């Protein structure tokens, strides 16, 4: 059986922001500016964890909805894929 995961929610992407060539100072600025909005509870602890990162992508979602869980085939998307964008979910849905 191919690798599969349980799909539980769907949402639309409202905005994507990318940041490259980060420094610890830029990481701190991003945490201060967007931390609460992206669900970071403790900016100090997060800074310790992320201060040496060089690249960041923030994906802002809209219209999130829970769906009846079902399984999808992730073959070809990579084992660590958390986000999958497909034109039609039926193409990867396992019956």
Q: Model confidence over 36-65: pLDDT tens digits? A: 988 899 989 999 999 999 999 999 989 999
Provide the residue range defining the domain that includes 66. Answer: 4-91
Tell me which long-range contacts 45-54 makes (C-beta under 8 A, separation of at least 24). Answer: 51/24, 51/27, 52/24, 53/22, 53/27, 54/20, 54/21, 54/22
3-state secondary structure at position 20: strand
Q: Please count the structural domains in the chain.
A: 1
2-26 tens-digit pLDDT = 555 677 888 888 999 999 999 999 9
């Amino acid at each position: 059986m191919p690798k599969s995961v349980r799909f539980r929610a769907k949402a639309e992407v409202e905005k994507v922001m990318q940041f490259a060539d980060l420094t610890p100072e830029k990481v701190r600025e991003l945490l201060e500016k967007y931390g609460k909005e992206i669900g970071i509870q403790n900016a100090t602890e997060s800074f310790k964890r992320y201060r040496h990162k060089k690249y960041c992508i923030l994906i802002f979602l809209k219209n999130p909805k829970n769906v009846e869980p079902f399984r999808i085939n992730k073959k070809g998307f990579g084992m660590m894929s958390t986000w999958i964008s497909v034109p039609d979910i039926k193409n990867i849905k396992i019956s």
